[in-house]
Structure 1
Amino acid sequence: MKNILITGGAGFIGSNLALKLNSLGYSVTVLDHLSEQIHGSNSENSPLYQSVLGKVNFIKGDVTCREDVEKSIQNQDVIIHLAAETGTGQSMYEIEKYSRVNVYGTALILDVLVNQKNAVKKFILASSRAVYGEGKYQKGNFEAVYPESRSVASMQQGKFEMTDENGEILQALATDENSKLHPTSYYGLTKLQQEQMVKLVCKSIGVKYVILRYQNVFGVGQSLLNPYTGILSIFSTQILNAKNLNIFEDGLMTRDFINIEDTVEATIKSLELESANNEIINVGSGIATDVLTIANILVHSYAKNISIDISGDYRV
């Protein structure tokens, strides 16, 4: 399986993956429409785009355009589907856009696979931790529970911990692949829809699939201009502009951060390993790191004299 199509292959994860696959001798085709949010207003000069230019077969196109999808799938052995609108907060007020790109775009790729002669043997989908919603918690020494989002009233009172219906504080657990799926953002909902479509259709046509639920990916080359790439980019931009950091809530909310190099390695293993067929796999470090720790690490690393303010602000 040497011919690989990467949708969204000029993005942060996609470009790193494309270059690594290229170095391993794969023939890589990238389908990407060079979104302004990711590549800036002058997308042709985007560092991410420039990094793959001349090293891959680049098709400037859109996963929501049948002609572009049909063209890009020709002679491909594997599809790695990364193209998507991302950002949990942004998704809640751009619902039509997220549906069109994430849901319809995936449906169109699958429709072409079903109805057009092709050589695709494997489909790898980039999903997200967002399908788990608030994640997995433990109630005392008892069973795992999956709470809904916290109420505005609680956060107004400075109560940021997850609690049960009786107000008892819950203990966060690592969220494994068998955890309950209950997205709390429209983005998470679209990723879950993608997963379900890929599983159903790929099984029906005999194409092997792997679904990778990426955690918080970071690393060299990540945009500092896109506000939806996560707190590492947001904090870095503020620090480099000598602005004090405003830490939301109590700063103790935890995330799993995984380096781009490890993310690429996991994705390639899902391509190459025979055992990675019809699987759903979390891609993370398995280590919980709180936001306040991240802020302190960045301030120290940039060696900037700024303050870290725990404000109690919150996002609904």
Structure 2
Amino acid sequence: MSRRALITGGAGFIGSRLAARFARSGWDVDVLDPLSEQVHGVDPVRTSASLRGLEDSARLTIGSVSDPDALEAALGDAEVVVHLAAETGTGQSMYEIGRYADVNVGGTATLLDRLVRGGHSVRRVVVASSRAVYGEGAYADADGRIVYPAGRDDARLRAGEFDPAGADGRPLRPAPTPEDAPLAPTSVYGITKLTQESLVRAVSPAVGIEPVTLRYQNVYGPGQSLRNPYTGILSIFTGLIARGEPINVFEDGLPSRDFVYVDDVVEATFLAATEPAAAGGVFNVGTGVGTSVLDVVRALFTAAGAEVPAIVSGDYRLGDIRHNIADTTRLRETLGFVPATDFATGLAAFAAWADGRDVGADGYRQSLEELESRNLLRRG
């Protein structure tokens, strides 16, 4: 008899590939997704590559995880729920606060309300969280001690002092952030992801369900939305290059992120959903390697075979972090998983997939105007 999994938000970039991964291992898969216009476009059947990817691997229920009836229709006899459904985007979350709270926190609460009532087969819930829960995360001070600085002060950012400093004023160096680091999100998005985690970890064991938390770093790869201007600098910059428009490089171009390829994220998530050793665990999903924004721009120019002006503007967004790199020791030691795709290889695959695709209109400029009108984007 086949095992069954439900993936909330499963028609998206990660979820559609995860559905295929489950299906290859003989699972039956249900997907619950509202097919939001911001992610899938106005005509998802025509424009959404991730939606088309579900055709051979999953049964789709169109609806929100916040809708109890849609959730009931999709849940069926699932043994595992992978909870990907969420609004994403650090910047947008700072002025769409109600929507982010309603979907991310309210949707998780609706899911847990259903599970608490019983009459289902769920034994494990995997919640997709984010590196945003750490805020700035781990740094090493001038003496090599690991410290966890608070969010960056606006006065220092206005002065062009973008790197966090220690209590003695000396510069700090980014260090891999472990799962037991202090949790201090600096954005509404990060707060909602931390709340999702906390709800799942508090409620699930009380009703005999195993919680697993995954803290994704910056996920990228083929299938990533090229139309959503609120998340993913790789897709945003790719769209600007395709349209021949300049790239506004924030701060001094040296913020760094841990970019992790989508197939590695999918495999780590599948293991988190199926391996007994994952039960109750919290795992970073990343590579442990930081790449600066300027290095991303240069790599995209090489991969695309085209360049546009890249202007290091000194602009900055409130709520952004400077660096974050995952400590992936626990993922390796507990689940035996090490990401297989380095950034150069993954970026080449992403660029080849994106070449010639319709990147849509320039919604990125509008997204910056929205931030600036609310005083959340400051000009350098």
Tell me if both proteins adopt one fold, taking TM over 0.5 as the criterion: yes
The separation in 2 between residues aligned to 1:213 and 1:73, in whole angstroms, is: 24
* Distance in 2 between residues matched to 1:187 and 1:246, nearest whole Å: 23
> 1:44 maps to which residue?
45
Task: Provide the TM-score with structure 2 as the length reference.
Answer: 0.81
Which residue of structure 2 lines up, in the alignment, with residue 23 of structure 1?
24
Q: How does 1:1-316 map to 2 (within 5 A)?
A: 2-45=3-46, 46-316=48-318
Amino acid of the residue matched to residue 152 of structure 1?
D
Q: How many residues align?
A: 316
RMSD: 1.3
Q: Which amino acid aligns with 1:201?
A: V
TM-score (norm 1): 0.96
Distance in 2, Cα, partners of 1:83 & 1:92: 19
Instruction: In structure 2, give the amino acid aligned to 1:25.
Output: G
CA distance in 1, matches of 2:108, 2:186: 21
Query: Could you give the per-residue CA deviations for residues 151-204 of structure 1, whole angstroms, max 9, x where no partner exists?
Result: 222222211111134422111111111111001011111111111111111111
5+ long unaligned stretches in structure 2: 319-380
Give the Cα separation in 1 of the matches to 2:90 and 2:245.
25
1:248-296, CA deviations, whole angstroms, 9 ceiling, x for partnerless residues?
A: 1111111000000100010111122211110000000111111111110
Stretch of structure 1 that moved more, 261-270 or 134-143: 134-143
Deviation at 1:142, TM superposition (A): 4.9
Secondary structure of residue in 1 paired with 2:178: coil
Contact residue 140 and residue 173 of structure 2 kept, 8 A:
yes
Which whole-Å CA distance do the structure 1 matches of 2:261 and 2:83 have between them? 20
- Gaps spanning 5+ residues in structure 1: where? none
- The list of structure 1 runs, each at least 4 consecutive aligned residues, that deviate by more than 3 angstroms after superposition, is none
Deviation for aligned residue 1:55: 3.0
8 Å CA contact 2:94–2:187 kept in 1: the answer is yes
CA distance in structure 2 between the partners assigned to 1:197 and 1:305 by the alignment: 45
Q: Which moved further from structure 2: 303-312 or 281-290?
A: 303-312
Which 10-residue stretch deviates more, 295-304 or 40-49? 40-49
Secondary structure, counterpart of 1:275 in structure 2: helix
Identity within the alignment, %: 45
Q: CA deviation at 1:99?
A: 1.0
The separation in 2 between residues aligned to 1:50 and 1:64, in whole angstroms, is: 24
1:124-167 Cα distance to aligned partner (Å, 9 max, x none): 11000010011111222253222222222222221111113442
SS of alignment partner, residue 106 of structure 2: helix
Matched to 2:229, the amino acid is: P
Structure 1 residue identity aligned to 2:40: H
Shift, 1:27, TM fit:
0.3
